[in-house]
Structure 1
Amino acid sequence: MIYKSGDTAESDVFAMRRLSVPLHGHSTGFDYKHTTLHLWKTLTHSVKTHKLDLNFILRFLSSYNCAQRLILVHDLEFEYNYNLIDMVLEQPESPIRSCTLAMLIEPIELYVRDFHDLLILKLNDKSNSDISRKLVQIVLPLDNDDTQKFKETYKNLFENSIETDIEVVQGEKTIISKLLIQLLEGQRNEEPNHSLSATKLIAKKLSEGVEGGKPVIDYDIFIKIFTHDAFAQLSSIFDMYEDQYGCPIQVAIEHQCQSKIEAECFQDIVEYTRSPSGYHAKILRQALDKEPIDYTTLIRTIIGHESKDLCEVKLEYSKMYDETLHQTIEHRIDTAEIKKIFVVIIATGDDLTPRNGEEDCSGDKDSSSSTGAPLNAITSKVMEKKSKHSLDVLEKFAQILKMRTSN
């Protein structure tokens, strides 16, 4: 039976019932063949009687981690010629659609699609705000290997080089275009050490630029320092400048740049260099503070970092804002299904029960506000279930991809 998204109480009962049963008859296996068959039957029945039920897909996928979800999606296409990603993309744009899509694809593809959407938005003059910082936010955390995957994925999806599209939208030879393209070169030194002599020289040049009122470092060299030097080297430069010359590094950056948005993009690199988890925690808070809520950024950060560094981001968020990310999500997210997915993903290691007799004030803004206890029960069941999945998921994923390639 397929439950409609409005049947909140029934959907909670359905989810709890499904999650309380051992996975496919045993507690430790991930029987992706059986699960894929069940999902395929449910989806094909759903599209015959209703439109594609994105809420059901979200609830179903919430039981599995990123690698397992990818296995199910690929096996659906391989075994049953059912391209779930394309079917989701055919649905009208909405936060639910974006969240569902994010659960079906690899994090790199999620970043690529968001990057491309921003470029298209700006190209069509549908964005009144500057997209430069968001573009930097997407590519800044990528290491050299991920950067190459990012460019390859962009080319495969949109049949154009990302460098060309950046210059079309952001302008040729602008500082922002050069910064983005240099970040995407994937040539950053990833060694943890740094050069003290280079640190002193660059800090001195930055100081001279502030004192003289004009940049001393050539723009191309300045960009290359921020995009190619190791993060340890950058951190040393920033600290040396502030300790030696008694001035925030932001002042030197502002003197080096030609506009406020350029300075903000370089300042983002400073913040990420000093604390990657703190940088992402700040991005999450800004997205939650927006009116309306910036679901695109929340989805990219929470789902995209699920299997990477979300635990560190959650910890830093708690330190910075005196409440857990889980608590903020409960209070502010106004879309019930997205709230449930976010809570499940961020729940690892969290104490989901109210502390010291505090009331559970989850869901003030949506129709599921009366189901705070079931939501926590669902989350606990999901996390228990995830912890029991077998460790051969990635091997099975590789086998599926190998079979698809050979055919």
Structure 2
Amino acid sequence: MKKTFDSNLNKKEKHLLQKLNISSLSNPVEFDFRRDTKHLSKILKNSSIDRRLDLEVILEFLSSYNCEQRLILIHGLEYEYSYKLIDLVLLQPESPIRLCTLALLVESIELYVRDFHDLLLVARTDSNSNDITRKLLETLLGLNNNDTQKFKEIYEHLLKTSVDNDIKEAHGAKSIISRLFIALLDGKRYEVPAHSMATAKIIARQLHEAREGTSDIDYDSLIQIFTHDGFPQLSSIFDTYEDKYGRSINEAIGYEFKDQVATYCFQDMVEYTRSPSGYYSKILRQAFYDVPVDYRTLIRIIIGHQNKDLCEIKLEYSKIYDETLEQTIEDRIDIVEIKQVFITIMEKAKNLMPNELRKSRQDRKNKIDSSSLGTSPTAIGDKNSSKHRSHEAFKKLAHLFKLKRPH
């Protein structure tokens, strides 16, 4: 029988949070994919009526697992019980809970792909929307070169079209925004964590001369600088320009671009370059205080960055706004089930303490020599840890099922 939830929001919230507190204090149960997959199949069997799922129950169940465990459960559910949970969730009416449930069923890059496509559909009706275009940019900025390749492959596999074509349809084939997004997805950024002061001085001087009207920098050159230069190099360019010429780099960008949307996008890239965690903190804050709450953005960042840089975002958020991310979630999220998921994720992020975070950063830095490719500021782990997570999960599942691994 389908579970009936208490209509009283306060009682319901208290019950869920009590369960969360109890589970967080008790010893974690070892992950048993066969047992847990069977339990999930029973939830689906008992909660589905005429293909309508009780997403609240499913969401609560999934929130206690990490990304790899969830992917193993999804593969096991399909293999042993013939449930294609992602397809079943997509059949449900659109809602924040459906968005959140789907986000827990896929790897982060697929989450970005689905959001990017949905935002592009909105952009087609209003290609000049600052808000939508900046969200599209935010979705792409955290991708390193390997991620962009996966992003394009997943996009084409899911949607049977290339992301480049959809970008051009939404923003125009020759627009600055289309060229910027396509360049970001080309995955040609120089990812070695080093920079050249000589190069920074040359580009800073060119920007200054363009601002003074004594020379020009064409848009394609600017796009190449912002999408090909490494983030340390970009940061050096911005600092050199401001230190030497006494003007804000954002002011120079505003002068260079007459298009307001393009101006905001390039200024956002400056902000991201200087502080990725500060950039995401600002976006989260705005999403919390939008009316109505922007659940899509919150889900994309909190769940999408769970295994990447959420701990850093949490720390920066508390510094900027003088309150923890958990406090804002408690105060602003009005859907109890989503609040529970977010708080559970926040609790797990606490396991990575600041000293461990610094050690992790140093370990990554030590693994990169002067001739190797590194990762973008938001990437966690070296290139060996950036494998397709769903592929890794499937390999684990195949081993557990004693299946022959495909070549």
TM range, smaller chain: 0.7 to 0.9
Match of 2:136 in 1: 135
Q: Which amino acid aligns with 1:39?
A: L
C-alpha deviation, 1:134, in angstroms: 1.0
Residue 103 of structure 2 aligns to a residue whose secondary structure is helix
1:342–1:118 Cα change, 3 Å: same
Q: CA deviation at 1:174?
A: 0.9
Indicate whether 1:312 and 2:325 are aligned: no
Task: Say which SS state the counterpart of residue 100 (structure 1) adopts.
Answer: helix
Report deviation, 1:91.
0.6
| Aligned residues of 1:55 and 1:337 also touching (Cα < 8 A) | yes
Pairs within 5 Å for 1:193-342: 193-212=194-213, 216-342=216-342
Partner of 1:36: 37
Q: Which runs of 5+ in 2 are unaligned?
A: 352-389
The number of equivalent residue pairs is 364
Shift of 1:122: 2.4
**Does the CA contact (< 8 Å) of 2:109 and 2:150 recur in 1?**
yes
Residues 55 and 97 in structure 2, CA contact (< 8 A), matched pair in contact too: yes
Residues 123 and 15 from structure 1, CA distance in 2 versus in 1: closer, same or farther, beyond 3 angstroms? same
Where 1:4 maps in the other structure, the secondary structure is coil
Q: Is the 8 A contact 1:4 1:53 kept in 2?
A: no
Q: Is the 8 A contact 2:113 2:154 kept in 1?
A: yes
Within a 5 Å distance, the mapping from 1:101-120 to structure 2 comes to: 101-120=102-121
Would you say the 8 A contact 1:78–1:404 is kept in 2? Answer: no
Q: Report the CA distance between 1:46 and its aligned residue.
A: 1.7
Matches within 5 A, 1:126-205: 130-205=131-206
Q: Distance in 2 between matches of 1:349 and 1:102?
A: 17
1:83, CA displacement in angstroms? 0.5
Q: Which digits, 9 at most, give the CA deviation of each residue in 1:194-217, with x for residues without a partner? A: 11211111000101111118x721
Amino acid at match of 1:235: S
| Cα 1:247/1:73, change in 2 over 3 Å | same
Q: Which residue of 1 aligns with 2:63?
A: 62
TM-score normalised by structure 1 residue count: 0.82
The alignment-based identity, stated in percent, is 53
* Residues 3 and 11, structure 1, Cα contact 8 Å, conserved in 2: no
> Aligned runs of 1:48-59 on 2, under 5 Å?
48=49, 51-59=52-60
Match of 1:322, as an amino acid?
D
* Structure 1 unmatched ranges of 5 or more: 352-392
Counterpart in the other structure of 2:46:
45
Match of 1:387 in 2: none
CA RMSD of aligned residues (A): 2.9
1:378 is matched with which residue?
Answer: none
User: Once the two structures are superposed, what CA deviation does each residue of 1:303-337 show, in whole Å capped at 9, x if it has no partner?
Assistant: 10111110100000000001001001111111111
Q: In the aligned structure 1, how far is the partner of 2:257 from the partner of 2:326?
A: 38
Residue in 2 aligned with 1:74?
75
| Structure 1 residues 27 and 395, CA gap change in structure 2 (3 angstroms) | farther
Q: 1:132-155 deviations in whole A, cap 9, x for unaligned?
A: 211110001100001100000000
The residue matched to 1:190 in structure 2 has which SS?
coil
Q: 1:15 to 1:401 in 2, by over 3 A?
A: farther
Compute the TM-score of the two structures, normalised by the length of structure 2.
0.82
Give 1:338's aligned amino acid: I
Matched, 1:399 2:383: no
1:11 Cα offset (Å): 8.4
Question: Shift of residue 81 of structure 1?
Answer: 1.2
What residue is the counterpart of 1:383 in the other structure? none
2: CA distance, partners of 1:404 / 1:114: 34
Question: Distance in 2 between the 1:98 and 1:134 partners?
Answer: 16
State the 1:339 CA deviation.
1.1
- Separation of aligned partners in 1, 2:16 and 2:312: 32
Does the CA contact (< 8 Å) of 1:112 and 1:150 recur in 2? yes
Is 1:98 the counterpart of 2:99 in the alignment? yes
Deviation of residue 405 (structure 1)? 6.3
Report the more deviating stretch, 12-21 or 39-48.
12-21
Give, in whole Å, the separation in 2 of the partners of 1:35 and 1:314.
Answer: 30
After alignment, is 72-81 or 47-56 more displaced?
47-56
Amino acid across the alignment from 1:111: Y
Report the counterpart of residue 122 of structure 1 in structure 2: 123
